[in-house]
Amino acid sequence: MKKKIMPILLCLAMVVMIISACRNSTTSVNNTAEDIGSANEDNSETISDDVQIVTVWSDNAHEKTIREAQIEKFNNTIGKEEGIKIEYTVYGTDYADVINEALAANKGPDLFRPSSNTFAKYVKEGYAVPISNLAGSGALLSKYNKSNLIIGNQIFDNKIYTLPYSLQSYKMIINRDLFDKAGITEVPTTWDEVREDARIITQASEGDAYGYCLSLQSGWTLDHYIYGVATPSLGHFGYDAVSGSYRYSDGLPIIEDILGMIRDGSVYPGYESMDADTARAKFAEGKVGIVMAASFDVAVYTEQFPAKCNWVVCDPPAIKKEGYDYKEMVAAVDLLAVSKKALEAKDTSKVEKVLEWFYADENLVEMYEQGMYIPYRSEVLDIAGESSVNGWKEFSTFKDNQFIIRMADPKGVISYEGLSARETLAKLFEGGYQEDAEVVLKELDERLNRGLDNLEDKEREGYIAPPSYNVKRD
């Protein structure tokens, strides 16, 4: 498998150069910024003066077991030699609220996992700082060609704030056991077929299982599990970098099929108050027939919620029977960013050493082999072995010339009236609008595009694809 992926990722790096030229813990922690600051102060008193604590926060629960083992090894070896101790915390569905409050109060961690939905705001507010502000950061930054990085993701105001760690792809996963029980022999290839199969599975299960699952309390799933999965059909992720405009309304056929599944009674009950972990646990228990998924879900169904069913990874459903018009879009995912608080550290070079260690090739090799991450840097695959984890090959192998890196979405830098895209979709699936879906989605596009129109031309240009950015299939 390594031989297949290596040249593909090398091509992918070239795609990124073109562009730049122009999730959850099993336990939820609910602390206020004041509580967190006090806790950090208390912990520091138990450590000798020659040891510096570097705090790291994330919500990547799917990698929690492996990452904690890596950190324990670091603390007992490199950390002891260098006088560094990593304190690592994985949060649950409350992560967005906790990190937002903590960063605003300057009582958060030294390093944190950035969210594409809020990171631009943190940069603008000064909560996040450039990596170059850390002493000794040159070695880590030298591994990346700045021209390969994406404006609005890693680069803001011509400075590097975070670095890509992995690639994220999207597929459909089915419960083969429920398909067999319902007498369905073919995998659905369109969203219309997904709706029909979900109805058949629900009826055949007689209340024990359902055809489909939503999780409206985790808004990111509405982005990733709908529009991320739909990029081969739409050519964008809600924001279309080619036209430089929001086009959520292009996804109307998909939204109508999901609304149809809700009306059919094919969606697992309680989806309005369900979060992503709960929904994925239902699938792992064998209670759901079809789910959309990202590459990190392989680890979810292997480590976090080991699936008790025969699950199979399939191509994303298309809107039309003829298949896809566009290339599969994969996301360049960042691992950690630097908080303003890190600059108050006794020795910022020790914070940088921890950041560099998290990005170390040997750690990523282990993650890749365990089906956690597809390395962004193709060099990592030179030292990686093959992975035998179920479903990983399907997520990590891309078809030649039929994939492209997704450009940044400016949602973090625009101001607009009304609900966000995620909030709008959630309200729509809850039945909160009198208007039909077509009207709601068109109105969403109009509101977001008015926000785009208010950006300065220079800032907006960074989010518009160059002519060489070809999203159409060959």
For residue 53, what are the β-bridge partners?
Answer: 85
Find out whether 309 and 391 touch, Cβ atoms under 8 Å: no
Q: Which helix (H) or strand (E) holds 170?
A: strand 170-175
Q: Check whether 136 has a pLDDT greater than 90.
A: yes
pLDDT in tens, 81-96: 999 999 999 998 889 8
Largest interatomic CA distance in the chain? 67
Q: What is the pLDDT of residue 4?
A: 42
Confidence of residue 417 (pLDDT cuts 50, 70, 90): very high
Spatial separation of the C-alpha atoms in residues 347 and 354, rounded to whole Å: 12
- Mean pLDDT, residues 284-298: 97
- Name the more confident of 28 and 135: 135
Q: What is the pLDDT of residue 93?
A: 81
- Mean pLDDT, residues 192-199: 98
Task: Return residue ranges of the chain for CATH 3.40.190.10.
Answer: 23-165+334-383, 170-326
Spatial separation of the C-alpha atoms in residues 33 and 383, rounded to whole Å: 41
Residue 268 sits at φ, ψ, to 5 deg, of -55, 130
Confidence of residue 2 (pLDDT cuts 50, 70, 90): very low
Spatial separation of the C-alpha atoms in residues 381 and 365, rounded to whole Å: 7
Spatial separation of the C-alpha atoms in residues 315 and 137, rounded to whole Å: 40
Q: What is the pLDDT of residue 382?
A: 82
Q: Check whether 18 has a pLDDT greater than 80.
A: no
Q: What is the pLDDT of residue 31?
A: 44
- Mean pLDDT, residues 170-189: 98
Instruction: Evaluate whether the domain defined by 170-326 bears CATH number 3.40.190.10.
Output: yes
- Mean pLDDT, residues 302-313: 96
Instruction: List helix spans (H) across 320-420.
Output: 348-358, 361-369, 392-396
- Mean pLDDT, residues 11-35: 40
Spatial separation of the C-alpha atoms in residues 377 and 102, rounded to whole Å: 31
Single-letter residue type at 338:
V
Q: What is the pLDDT of residue 402?
A: 84
Q: Check whether 343 has a pLDDT greater than 80.
A: yes
Find out whether 205 and 288 touch, Cβ atoms under 8 Å: no
Q: What is the pLDDT of residue 401?
A: 76
Q: In whole angstroms, how far apart are CA 447 and each of 99, 192, 253, 412, 414?
A: 28, 29, 21, 14, 11
Confidence of residue 27 (pLDDT cuts 50, 70, 90): very low
Mean pLDDT, the chain, whole residue set: 90
For 289, how many CA atoms within 13 A lie in the half-sphere containing its CB?
31
| Residues in the chain, overall count | 474
Q: Check whether 268 has a pLDDT greater than 50.
A: yes
Spatial separation of the C-alpha atoms in residues 242 and 54, rounded to whole Å: 41
Spatial separation of the C-alpha atoms in residues 90 and 92, rounded to whole Å: 7
Confidence of residue 147 (pLDDT cuts 50, 70, 90): confident
Confidence of residue 140 (pLDDT cuts 50, 70, 90): very high
Q: What percent of the chain has pLDDT over 70?
A: 90
Question: DSSP secondary structure string, 27-49?
Answer: S-----HHHHHHHHHHHHHTS-T
The CATH number fitting domain 23-165+334-383, selected from 3.40.50.720, 3.90.1170.40, 3.40.190.10, 3.40.50.300: 3.40.190.10
Confidence of residue 47 (pLDDT cuts 50, 70, 90): low
* Closest by CA position to 429, among listed 248, 215, 225: 215
Find out whether 248 and 305 touch, Cβ atoms under 8 Å: no
- Mean pLDDT, residues 197-221: 97
Number of H-type helices and E-type strands within the chain:
20, 16
Q: What is the pLDDT of residue 230?
A: 98
Find out whether 24 and 95 touch, Cβ atoms under 8 Å: yes
Find out whether 65 and 303 touch, Cβ atoms under 8 Å: yes
Spatial separation of the C-alpha atoms in residues 255 and 191, rounded to whole Å: 9
Q: What is the pLDDT of residue 254?
A: 98
Contacts of 9 (CB under 8 A, 6+ apart): 167, 375, 376, 378, 381
Give how far the C-alpha of residue 151 lies from the chain's centroid of Cα atoms, to the nearest Å: 17
Confidence of residue 161 (pLDDT cuts 50, 70, 90): very high
pLDDT in tens, 54-71: 999 999 988 999 999 999
- Mean pLDDT, residues 293-306: 94
* Closest by CA position to 16, among listed 123, 151, 156, 161: 151
pLDDT in tens, 364-395: 999 999 999 999 988 888 888 888 999 999 99
Q: What is the pLDDT of residue 398?
A: 82
